[in-house]
C-alpha cells in the first residue's frame, strides 16, 4: 500500500472516530482488506462497516445494562437444564422470552420449593429482557426491602423516580422465606400499587398463593389487595421437582465414592 493510501485510511479512521463510530474505525483496515480481496461493491462495504458499528454498540449496551441491572452472571436460558425439570413447560418459557409480557406491564410469578431453578429462570429471563432492549433491575427480596425502608419517609413524587419504581422490569427473587412485618407489607403494597399497569414484575417465591396472607403479616385485606394487582394478567408457573443443588451434591458424592 502506498504512503498516500495509508494517509487516506488514517484520515477516514479519524473521521469515523470524530463521528463517534469507534467500532467501525477499529475494523476499518480489516474490512477494507476483505473488500479489496473479494471485490466487494462499495455499497456492500459501507453496509459491513455500519454493521460493525451497530454490533459494537449493541454489545456495549447489553454489557452496560447487565451491569446496572444487578443480575447475577452466568445464568441464561441456553444453559438451563430443562430436561431435569420436565414440569416446566418449555413453550411457556419461550413465550416469556419474547418479552411481550414486559411491554404489557404484566407479572410473572415463579413459585416452588428451594433449588428447583426459580432463580436461574428469573435471571435468564432478565438477561433476555436486557438483550431485547428493556431496562431491568434485580433484587433479592431482603435487599429490596432495605431499599424500601430507606425510602419509607420519602415523598411519593421522589419515590416514583427510584429505579425500582421506573424500570421496565423489576425482578424480586426469594420472596417468602421470612414473614413480613406490617410496615414491610405496607411498603410492598405501595410498590406493587405504583407499578401496577406501569411496569412488569417477575417474582420468585417458595410460597403458594394461598399462603400469602400469612406472609403479609397476617393481613387478609392487604394480601387480597396485593394479589388482586399481581395476578391480574399474570403468568403463574408452579415448579415441582428435584433440587438442582441436591442433584449436584449427589453426583459429587458418587464421584467421591467411585
Please report the pLDDT score of residue 40 as a whole number: 93
Give the Cβ contact number of residue 141 at 10 Å. 20
Closest CA to 89 of 110, 70, 61, 60: 110
Please report the pLDDT score of residue 107 as a whole number: 98
Please report the pLDDT score of residue 247 as a whole number: 54
Please report the pLDDT score of residue 86 as a whole number: 83
Sheet holding 136-140, edge to edge: 136-140, 169-175, 200-205, 107-111, 234-238
Tens digits of pLDDT across the chain (258 residues)? 444 445 578 999 999 999 999 999 999 999 999 999 999 999 999 999 999 999 999 999 999 999 999 999 999 999 999 988 888 889 999 999 999 999 999 999 999 998 899 999 999 999 999 999 999 999 999 999 999 999 999 999 999 999 999 999 999 999 999 999 999 999 999 999 999 999 999 999 999 999 999 999 999 999 999 999 999 999 999 998 666 555 555 455 556 666
**Separation of CA 15 from chain center:** 36
Mapped onto helix, strand or coil, the DSSP state of residue 174 is strand
Residue whose C-alpha cell reads 403494597 in the numeric block: 189
Determine the length of the chain: 258
DSSP letter string over 96-118? HTT-HHHHTT-EEEEE-STTSSH
Closest CA to 170 of 207, 206, 205, 129: 129
Please answer whether residues 102 and 200 qualify as being in contact, where contact means their C-beta atoms are separated by less than 8 angstroms. yes
Domains along the chain with CATH numbers: 3-67 (no CATH), 82-246 (3.40.50.300)
Amino acid at each position: 500500500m502506498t504512503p498516500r493510501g495509508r494517509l487516506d485510511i488514517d484520515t477516514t479512521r479519524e473521521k469515523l472516530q470524530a463521528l463517534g463510530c469507534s467500532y467501525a474505525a477499529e475494523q476499518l483496515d480489516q474490512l477494507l482488506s476483505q473488500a479489496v480481496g473479494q471485490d466487494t461493491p462499495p455499497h456492500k462495504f459501507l453496509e459491513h462497516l455500519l454493521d460493525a458499528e451497530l454490533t459494537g454498540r449493541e454489545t456495549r449496551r447489553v454489557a452496560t445494562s447487565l451491569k446496572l441491572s444487578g443480575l447475577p452472571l452466568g445464568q441464561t436460558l441456553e444453559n438451563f437444564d430443562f430436561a431435569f425439570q420436565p414440569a416446566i413447560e418449555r413453550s411457556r418459557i419461550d413465550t416469556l422470552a419474547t418479552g411481550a409480557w414486559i411491554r404489557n406491564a404484566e407479572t410473572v410469578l415463579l413459585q416452588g420449593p428451594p433449588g428447583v431453578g426459580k432463580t436461574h429462570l428469573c435471571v435468564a429471563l432478565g438477561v433476555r429482557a436486557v438483550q431485547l432492549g428493556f431496562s431491568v433491575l434485580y433484587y433479592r427480596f431482603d435487599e429490596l426491602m432495605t431499599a424500601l425502608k430507606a425510602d419509607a419517609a420519602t415523598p411519593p413524587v421522589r419515590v416514583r423516580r427510584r429505579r425500582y419504581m421506573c424500570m421496565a422490569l423489576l425482578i424480586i427473587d426469594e420472596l417468602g422465606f421470612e414473614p413480613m412485618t406490617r410496615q414491610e407489607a405496607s411498603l410492598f403494597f405501595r410498590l406493587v400499587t405504583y407499578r401496577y399497569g406501569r411496569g412488569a414484575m417477575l417474582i420468585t417465591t417458595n410460597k403458594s398463593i394461598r399462603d400469602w396472607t400469612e406472609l403479609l403479616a397476617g393481613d387478609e385485606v392487604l394480601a387480597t389487595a396485593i394479589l388482586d394487582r399481581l395476578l391480574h394478567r399474570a403468568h403463574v408457573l408452579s415448579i415441582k421437582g428435584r433440587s438442582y443443588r441436591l442433584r449436584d451434591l449427589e453426583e459429587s458424592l458418587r464421584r467421591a465414592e467411585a
